[in-house]
C-alpha cells in the first residue's frame, strides 16, 4: 500500500513538473513572438504562429489552475528574456527571427516527444497526451514554416541556433524545478 502511495505521489510530481514546464515554455514562446512582432508588426506568418502559441499558453494556464499546480517562479525572467530574444533576433533581420523559431521549436519538439513517450501507457492522462501530441505537431509546423522562410540563410545561423537551443534547454530544466 505504501509503495503505491509513494508511486502515485512521485507520478503526480512528474506530471506537475511537465505541466509547469510546458506552461513556462508556451509563455516564453508567446514573449518571443511578442518581441518579434514589435519589429515586424504586420507579419502574418509570425502573427499566425503567435496566435497558436497563445492557444497553447491558454490551455496550459487552464490545466495549471484545474490541477492546482504552481507556475514556475521564473516567469518574470522568461517574460523579459523571451521578449528580448524575439526583439533582438528580429532587429537583426527576418531570417534571424526565423532562425530563432527553428532553434526553439526543435528543442520543444524533442521535449514534447519525450513527454509523449513517458506518458504513452498512462490511461489516466489521455487528455494531456492528446494535448501534447497536438501541440508538438503545431511546433513542428512552426519550425517548418521558419525553414521555408529562409531561417538557414541567417548570418551566423549555426552559432545562433546552437546558443538559443542551449538557452531553451536550460529554461526547461530550471522551470521544472523552480
Average pLDDT over residues 60-68: 94
Whether residue 34 contacts residue 50, with contact meaning beta carbons closer than 8 Å, is answered with yes
Q: Looking at per-residue confidence, does 119 or 150 come out higher?
A: 150
Does pLDDT of 5 surpass 70? no
Whether residue 156 contacts residue 163, with contact meaning beta carbons closer than 8 Å, is answered with no
- Which helix (H) or strand (E) covers residue 25, if one does? helix 2-39
Does pLDDT of 18 surpass 50? yes
pLDDT band at 123 (very low <50, low <70, confident <90, very high): confident
Closest CA to 53 of 40, 68, 35: 35
- Which residue in this structure is represented by grid cell 519538439? 109
User: Residues 6 or more apart from 35 whose CB is under 8 A from it?
Assistant: 82, 83, 84, 85, 86, 87, 88, 89, 90
pLDDT band at 2 (very low <50, low <70, confident <90, very high): very low
Average pLDDT over residues 76-99: 96
Res 3: pLDDT? 44
pLDDT band at 4 (very low <50, low <70, confident <90, very high): very low
pLDDT band at 7 (very low <50, low <70, confident <90, very high): low
User: Residues 6 or more apart from 57 whose CB is under 8 A from it?
Assistant: 23, 26, 27, 29, 30
pTM: 0.88
CB atoms within 10 A of CB 94: 20
Res 29: pLDDT? 93
* Mean residue pLDDT across the chain: 91
Amino acid at each position: 500500500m505504501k509503495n503505491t502511495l509513494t508511486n502515485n505521489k512521485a507520478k503526480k510530481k512528474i506530471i506537475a513538473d511537465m505541466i509547469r514546464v510546458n506552461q513556462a515554455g508556451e509563455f516564453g514562446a508567446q514573449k518571443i513572438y511578442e518581441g518579434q512582432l514589435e519589429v515586424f508588426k504586420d507579419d502574418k506568418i509570425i502573427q499566425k504562429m503567435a496566435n497558436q502559441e497563445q492557444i497553447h499558453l491558454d490551455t496550459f494556464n487552464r490545466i495549471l489552475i484545474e490541477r492546482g499546480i504552481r507556475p514556475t517562479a521564473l516567469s518574470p525572467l522568461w517574460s523579459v528574456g523571451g521578449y528580448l530574444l524575439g526583439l533582438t533576433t528580429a532587429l537583426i533581420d527576418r531570417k534571424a527571427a526565423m532562425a530563432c523559431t527553428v532553434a526553439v521549436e526543435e528543442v520543444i519538439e524533442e521535449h514534447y516527444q519525450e513527454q509523449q513517450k513517458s506518458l504513452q501507457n498512462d490511461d489516466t492522462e489521455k487528455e494531456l497526451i492528446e494535448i501534447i501530441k497536438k501541440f508538438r505537431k503545431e511546433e513542428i509546423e512552426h519550425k517548418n514554416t521558419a525553414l521555408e522562410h529562409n531561417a538557414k540563410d541567417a548570418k551566423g545561423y549555426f552559432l545562433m541556433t546552437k546558443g538559443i537551443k542551449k538557452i531553451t534547454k536550460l529554461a526547461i530544466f530550471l522551470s521544472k524545478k523552480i
